[in-house]
Amino acid sequence: MKIGILGYGNLGRGVESAIRQNDDMQLTCIFTRREPSSIRPATEGVAVYSADEIEKLQGVIDVLVLCGGSATDLPSQTPEYAKYFNVIDSFDTHARIPEHFAAVDKVAKENGHVALISCGWDPGMFSLLRLYGAAVLPEGKDYTFWGKGVSQGHSDAIRRVKGVKNGKQYTIPVEEALREVRSGSNPILTTRQKHTRECFVVAEEGADLLQIEKDIKSMPNYFDEYDTTVHFISEEELKEKHAEIPHGGFVFRTGVTGLEKEHKHVIEYSLKLDSNPEFTASVILAYARAINRLSKEGVSGCKTVFDIAPAYLSPLSGDELRAHML
């Protein structure tokens, strides 16, 4: 199957490298809103086009992977390009998923394409685990923890603080909270009890460090409800020790069964990812395979990971899956 990528940032480059790990896929072209000649793909022989030319590639690619951001790119791009292609995105603004779904579904159905939104690990794999957990343990509670990992949104927020030159924020799950959940005691946990936040900040010369720390720790929504630690480091140290984009987290479902609810059960799923965008890209490609198959079966409209039978993700046949993986 032939894949196109729109947007050549961290996620786009992750998709490019993940395509090399899937024998049934090839990267056909990259679309960019920058000057195409400024893009140097890592893969030889891949064409780079301006995003303005995208319509002309209809019929040439099987699935277009949209690698833009959820704030401003995807709400317009995904419905727009579902006119011309099967598309997949990683839209992760949880609260706006219903309206995004509706907009994409309409266009995809009108144009006979399959779209899949909100793919990756959260939303994505974590969503699946929440659904499976609730379905198989209907009387219970679920818990999602993130980290240890870099939060792009919180790192951006730090960098907007006056006197800050650069910075990176790690979200860290609280060990004690993980232990309590694992025990099956179904604890009620506050925001502060679940995660801590650790910031590595490069200050501008002469900046008021105490004021920066105060501004970060009191920032509403981002930091005020958490125990936050701020470390001031040099630009060199930031580059050396904090250049990577690791992430991960945990999804738990804990619940009871039995006539007297006497038996406890704990389901735990965790991800430990060296590269958030590369893992996200890898999940996206498995679902790109699925929507390409659905499209060939004549299906159209917008889907999420909830709507895709697992077998569609695998390059193996049903016979092979039953013989070797069941």
- Footprint on this chain of a copy of itself (rule: CB under 8 A): 14, 17-18, 20-22, 42, 94, 97-98, 101, 118, 123, 125, 127-132, 134-139, 182, 184, 257-259, 262-275, 278-279, 281-283, 286, 289, 304-311, 313-315, 318-319, 321-323, 325-326
Residue 2 or 217 having the CB closest to a copy of itself: 2
Tell me the CB-side half-sphere exposure of residue 58, using CA atoms within 13 A: 10
Task: For a copy of itself, give the closer residue by CB, 151 or 304.
Answer: 304
Shortest CB 29 distance to a copy of itself, Å: 18
Q: How near is the Cβ of 59 to a copy of itself at its closest, in Å?
A: 27
Identity of the residue, 20 or 296, whose beta carbon is nearer to a copy of itself in the bound complex: 20
Q: Are 226 and 147 in contact (CB under 8 A)?
A: no
Residue whose CB is less far from a copy of itself, 9 or 204: 9
Q: How far is the CB of 87 from a copy of itself (least distance, A)?
A: 17
**Distance (Å, whole) CA 229 – CA 196:** 8
186 three-class SS? coil
> CB of 117: closest distance to a copy of itself in angstroms?
9
Question: Which runs of E-coded beta strand occur in 91-218?
Answer: 114-116, 140-146, 149-150, 164-173, 195-203
Measured from the CB of residue 91, what is the shortest distance to a copy of itself in angstroms? 10
Q: Smallest distance from the beta carbon of 268 to a copy of itself, in angstroms?
A: 5
Nearer to a copy of itself, 47 or 134 (CB): 134
The token pair that represents 88 in the structure block: 């997949």
Q: For residue 117, which of 5, 2, 284, 273 has the smallest C-alpha distance?
A: 284
- SS3 sequence, 63-78? EEEECCCCCCCHHHHH
Q: Which amino acid is at 220?
A: P
Q: How far apart are the first and last CA of the chain?
A: 26
Both tokens of residue 30?
């990259």
With respect to a copy of itself, which residue has the nearer C-beta, 47 or 311? Answer: 311
Taking the C-alpha atoms of residue 195 and residue 34, their distance in angstroms, rounded to an integer, is 38
Q: How deeply is 36 buried, as exposed, middle or buried, from its count of CB atoms within 10 A (0-12, 13-18, 19+)? A: middle
Q: Are strands 2-6 and 26-32 parallel, antiparallel or unpaired?
A: parallel
The least distance separating a copy of itself from the CB of residue 30, rounded to whole angstroms, comes to 15
Residues 34 and 94 sit within 8 Å (Cβ to Cβ): no
Structure tokens at 177: 């909270």
Which tokens go with 158?
């730090």
Q: Rank residues 188 and 259 by Cβ distance to a copy of itself and give the closer one.
A: 259
Q: How far is the CB of 255 from a copy of itself (least distance, A)?
A: 8
Identity of the residue, 135 or 210, whose beta carbon is nearer to a copy of itself in the bound complex: 135
